[in-house]
Amino acid sequence: MVPSTRVSLVRRVSLLRQNACVDLIGVRDDIRAALADGSPVVALESSVIAHGLPSPVNVRVAHSLEDAVRVAGAIPATIGVIAGRVQVGLEPEEIERLGGAGEILKCAAGDLGWAIAQGADGATTVSATVFAAASVGIDVVATGGIGGVHRGDTGDVSADLLSLARHPVAVVAAGAKSILDLPRTVEALETLGVPVVGLGTRDFPAFYARSSGLVLDKHTERAEDIARFCLIRWRRLRQSGGVLVACPCPEQHALEPSEVEQATARALRDAAAQDVNGKRLTPWLLAAVTESLGARTLAANHALLLNNARVAASIATTLCELSAASTFPKGH
Ligand code: PSU
Ligand code: MN
pLDDT tens digits for range 163-203: 999 999 999 999 998 899 999 999 999 999 999 999 999 99
If you take atom 8 of ligand 1, which residue's CA is the nearest one? 48
- Please name which of 123, 132, 138, 152 lies closest in space to residue 277, comparing C-alpha atoms: 152
Among the options 45, 66, 94, 106, which is catalytic? 45
Which pLDDT does position 38 carry in this prediction?
95
If you take atom 6 of ligand 1, which residue's CA is the nearest one? 52
- Domain contains 331: no
Choosing from 44, 45, 47 the residue with most ligand 1 atoms within 8 A of its CB, the one to mutate for a pocket test is 47
| Residues 87-95, mean pLDDT to the nearest whole number | 98
Reduced to 3 states, what is the DSSP secondary structure of residue 313?
A: helix
Closest atom of ligand 1 to CA, residue 159:
21
Q: Is 177 a catalytic residue?
A: yes
pLDDT tens digits for range 245-280: 999 999 999 999 999 999 999 999 999 999 999 999
- Domain contains 93: yes
If you take atom 7 of ligand 1, which residue's CA is the nearest one? 52
Please report which ligand is nearest the Cα atom of 161: 1
| Residues 201-219, mean pLDDT to the nearest whole number | 97
Reduced to 3 states, what is the DSSP secondary structure of residue 159?
A: helix
Which pLDDT does position 17 carry in this prediction?
53
* Distance in angstroms (rounded) separating the CA atoms of residues 205 and 213: 8
Reported pTM: 0.92
Which pLDDT does position 23 carry in this prediction?
82
- Domain contains 122: yes
* Distance in angstroms (rounded) separating the CA atoms of residues 245 and 222: 11
The continuous run of DSSP H or E covering 164 comes out as: helix 159-166
Among the options 66, 94, 106, 177, which is catalytic? 177
Beta strands in the chain (DSSP E): 25-27, 41-44, 75-82, 85-88, 105-107, 122-124, 140-142, 170-173, 196-199, 219-220, 243-246
| Residues 131-136, mean pLDDT to the nearest whole number | 97
Cα of 154 vs centre of ligand 2, distance in Å, is 10
Is the Cβ–Cβ distance between 285 and 264 less than 8 Å?
A: yes
- Domain contains 154: yes
Q: Does residue 52's CB lie within 6 angstroms of at least one atom of ligand 1?
A: yes
pLDDT exceeds 50 at position 288: yes
- Domain contains 201: yes
Confidence of residue 332 (pLDDT cuts 50, 70, 90): very low
Percentage above 90 pLDDT, the chain: 88
Reduced to 3 states, what is the DSSP secondary structure of residue 142?
A: strand
- Domain contains 329: no
pLDDT tens digits for range 52-66: 999 999 999 999 999
- Domain contains 146: yes
| Residues 113-134, mean pLDDT to the nearest whole number | 98
The torsion defined by the Cα of 238, 244, 250 and 255, in degrees rounded to 10, comes to -170
If you take atom 1 of ligand 1, which residue's CA is the nearest one? 52
- Domain contains 330: no
Cα of 282 vs centre of ligand 2, distance in Å, is 7
Query: Mean pLDDT over all residues of the chain?
Result: 92
pLDDT exceeds 80 at position 104: yes
Q: DSSP string of 40-88? A: -EEEE-SHIIIIIS-TTHHHHHHHHHHHHHHHTTSEEEEEEEETTEEEE
Q: Crossing angle of helices 159-166/182-191, nearest 10°?
A: 30
- Domain span including residue 172: 4-324
* Distance in angstroms (rounded) separating the CA atoms of residues 96 and 98: 6
Q: Crossing angle of helices 57-71/295-324, nearest 10°?
A: 30
Which pLDDT does position 325 carry in this prediction?
82
The domain total for the chain is 1
CATH of the domain at 148: 3.40.1790.10
Q: Does residue 45's CB lie within 6 angstroms of at least one atom of ligand 1?
A: yes
Which pLDDT does position 41 carry in this prediction?
98
Choosing from 126, 141, 277 the residue with most ligand 1 atoms within 8 A of its CB, the one to mutate for a pocket test is 126
